[in-house]
Chains A and B, each alone.
Chain A
Amino acid sequence: MSAVSEAVTSSAMRTREATVRRFALTDTIFRAATRASAILVLVILGGVAISLIAGSWEALSKFGLSFLTTEAWNPVTENFGALAPIYGTVVTSAIAIIIAVPIGIGIAIFLTELCPRPLRRPIGIAVELLAGIPSIIYGIWGLFVFAPFLQTTVQPFIINLFHGIPGLSSLFAGPPYGIGLLTSSLILAIMVLPFITSITKDVFDTVPAVLKESAYGIGCTTWEVTRRVTIPYTRIGIMGGVMLGLGRALGETMAVTFVIGNAHRISASLFAPGTTISATIANEFTEADGDLYTSSLVSLGLILFIITFLILAIARYMLMRIDSRTGA
C-alpha cells in the first residue's frame, strides 16, 4: 500500500519537476529572444553608422575636411563639396522652424485654453492627421499647386515690394521660378507643424491645474497665464518638440526634392533654386556613375546622419527631463 502511494507521489514529482524544467527553459528562451530583439535595435543604429562611414571613406579620404567647405559639385571632373547642400539644408530648416514654431504654439494654446470641449478632440486629431500624410503628397501638392501659386502671385508681389531696398531686395531677388529655397521652407513648415503642435499640446497638459487656477485666481488673463505660467513651466518640453521638428525638417527628403530645384549653388536670394543634402541624394544616387561620386553622396548621408542624430538626441534628452518631472 505504502509502496504504491510512494510510487505515485514520486512519479507525480517527476512530471512536476519535468514541467517546471520545461517552463524554466521556455522562459529562458523567450527572455533571450526579447533581449536579443532589444539589442538588435542598437545594432541597427550601429550598423547605419558603420555602413555610412565605410561607404563615405573613399570620398572623405580624398577630399578630407575641405569636403565640408567646397561649393563645387562637378561629376565630370569628379570634384565634390558639400557646402551647397549643407547650406540649403540649414537655411530651409531654419526658416521652416521660424514659421512653424509660433503657429504650432498658437494652435496648442488654442486647443488647451480656448477650444470648446466637443471640438477639442476632432481638431487635435485633424492636426495630427497632417503629420501622417506621406511627404511625397506634400511634394506633389507643392510642385503642381503651391509653386505655381507662389510664382504667379506672391513672388512677383514681394519682388516688386522690396525692389531697391538694400538687403531685402537681394534676399528676394527674381526671377520668380515658383520652386526654390523659400518654397521648400514653406512646405517644410507645413510638415513640421503637426509635430510641434502635438508635443506642445502634450506638455501643456502636464501643467498642474492648481498652478493655472491660482494665476487665474489673482485675476490673470488667459494670455498672462499662458505667458507667465504655462510656457515657463513647459519650456524644456517645448524646446524638445521644436528640436524634434527641426530633426524632421533637416532629414525631410521627398517633399523638398520636388520643389527645391536641385541646383548646386549658394544664392543670396531665397527665390533661387538650391539643394539640400537629402534632395541631392534622392536625385542623384541612382544616376551616380563612378565610385567617387557614389561615395561623395554617401558622405553627404553621413553628414546628415550626424547632424540629425545630435539634434534628435538633444530633443529626446529635453523631453525625457519633462517626462521624469511629471512622473515624480
Chain B
Amino acid sequence: MSTAASLHQSRKRKNAVMMALCVIAAGIGLAWLALILGALLYKGLTGVSLSVFTEMTPPPGDAGGLLNAIYGSIVMTIIGVVVGTPIGVLAGTYMAEYGRFSRLTTVVRFINDILLSAPSIIVGLFVYELMVRPMGHFSAIAGAVSLSILVIPVVVRTTEDMLNLVPNALREAGTAIGAPRWVVIRSVAYRAALSGIVTGILLAIARISGETAPLLFTALNNQFWSSNLNAPMASLPVTIFQFALSPYEEWQQLAWTGALIITLTVLGLSIIARSLTGRREDR
C-alpha cells in the first residue's frame, strides 16, 4: 500500500516538474519576443522624426533620413508581388482545380514546399547568375525578380490550400447550370477562397519586405535617390545591414529606426492577414 502511494507521489511529482518546465519554456519564448520588441522600440523610437521620411541616406557622420531606401523597398516589393502573385495563384489553381489528382501536382507541391523554406541567399545567387552577370551590372529589376521568386511559393501554397477548402458542391452547382470550368473557378472558387488568397499575398509581402540576402548582390545599394529600374537601388534591409555594421553613430541610429519601420510593417501585415482568416480557424 505504501509503495503504491509513494509511486503515486513520485508520478505526480514528475508530472509537476515536467509541466513546470513546459511553462518555463513558454515563458522563455514570450520573454524573448518581448525583449527583442522592447529593444527595437527603445532604440528605434529615439531616432524617429520627420526627416527619416523626407531626407536621403546621409554620407558617413552626417544626419539624414531613409527616404530613398524606403522608396526602393516599396518599388521592388510592389514589382515582386505584381510579378509573383499571378504566377503563384495560377499554379495554385492548377494544383487545386485542373490537376488535383495528377502526378504533376504531387511533384510541384513537394518542390514548392522546398522552395518555401530554401535559403533566400541561394535565390540571390541564382538571379545574379541569371540577370546581373549577363546584363553586366546590378539593377533594381534583378532585385525585384529575386523577391518575386520568394513570393511564388508562399502564394502557391496558400492558394492551393484555400481552394481545396471550397466545397465541391459549389463547383458542381456552377457546372450544373452550364458554366464552363474556368467560369466556375473564377466566379465560384476564387470568390469563395478570396480572403484566404489575400492572406497568402499579405504573408508574402510580409516575408519579402524584410528580405536582405537576395537583394545584396542583385539590387545592391544606392546612396542617392534613384528611380531607374535598370540601375542599383537602395532598399531598407540592405541599408540597415550597411549602416548597422558601420562605425558611425548616426548611421547606426538610422539602422535601428529602419529596423523598427520594417518590423512594424511586417507585424502589421501578419496581424491583418491572420485576422482575415481568423474566424475560419476558430471553427
Contact = CB atoms under 8 A, between A and B. Distances in A.
Interface of A: 23-24, 26-27, 30-31, 33-42, 44-45, 47-48, 51-52, 54-55, 102-107, 109-111, 113-115, 121, 123, 125-130, 132-141, 143-145, 190, 193-194, 197, 221-224, 226, 244, 247-248, 250-254, 257-258, 278, 281-282, 285-286, 298, 301, 304-305, 308-309, 312-313, 316, 320
A134 B210 contact: yes
20 contacts: A23-B180, A27-B181, A30-B182, A31-B94, A34-B93, A40-B87, A41-B91, A44-B152, A51-B130, A103-B29, A107-B26, A110-B26, A133-B267, A134-B211, A140-B259, A141-B39, A145-B35, A254-B212, A254-B237, A304-B121
Given A106-B21, A107-B22, A126-B33, A135 B210 contact: yes
Nearest to B211: A134
Interface string B189-213: 0000000000000000011011111
A27 B181 CA distance: 7
Contacts of B18: 223, 226
Interface stretch (B8-16, B74-82, B165-173): B8-16
Contacts of B156: 41
Given A141-B39, A254-B241, A52 B180 contact: no
Interface in B111-170: 111-115, 117-123, 125-126, 128-130, 149, 152-153, 156
B261 to A, nearest CB: 11
A301 B244 contact: no
The 8 tightest CB contacts between A and B, nearest first, are A134-B210, A251-B119, A106-B25, A34-B94, A221-B15, A37-B90, A37-B91, A51-B129
B213 A38 contact: no
B263 A48 contact: no
B262 A136 contact: yes
Interface in B192-249: 206-207, 209-213, 216-217, 220, 237, 240-241, 244-245
Contact of B129 (A54, A130, A139, A248): A54
Contact of B216 (A40, A41, A130, A286): A286
B19 A114 contact: yes
B267 A197 contact: no
A134 B119 contact: no
B24 interface: yes
B149 A38 contact: no
Contact of B91 (A34, A223, A285, A286): A34
Contacts of B122: 48, 52, 251, 301, 304-305, 308
A177 B93 CA distance: 52
A126 B267 CA distance: 10
B69 interface: no
Contact of A137 (B29, B108, B130, B210): B210
Contacts, number: 263
B212 A134 contact: yes
Residue of A38, A40, A252, A301 most packed against chain B (CB within 10 A)? A38
Nearest to A285: B217
B29 A107 contact: yes
Nearest to B181: A27
B276 interface: no
Contacts of A54: 129
B59 interface: no
Contact of B153 (A41, A51, A123, A320): A41
A283 B33 CA distance: 27
Nearest to A193: B29
Contact of A47 (B15, B99, B130, B245): B130
A140 to B, nearest CB: 5
Nearest to A190: B32
A110 B90 CA distance: 39
B32 A136 contact: no
Residue of A39, A134, A248, A316 most packed against chain B (CB within 10 A)? A134
B252 to A, nearest CB: 8
Given A33-B90, A286-B220, A38 B26 contact: no
B1 interface: no
Contacts of A102: 25
A107 B244 CA distance: 33
B278 to A, nearest CB: 9
A313 to B, nearest CB: 6
A129 B33 contact: yes
A177 to B, nearest CB: 15
Given A41-B108, A140-B240, A141-B36, A132 B270 contact: yes
B119 A278 contact: yes
A107 to B, nearest CB: 5
B45 interface: no
B245 A258 contact: yes
A198 B88 CA distance: 24
B115 A45 contact: yes
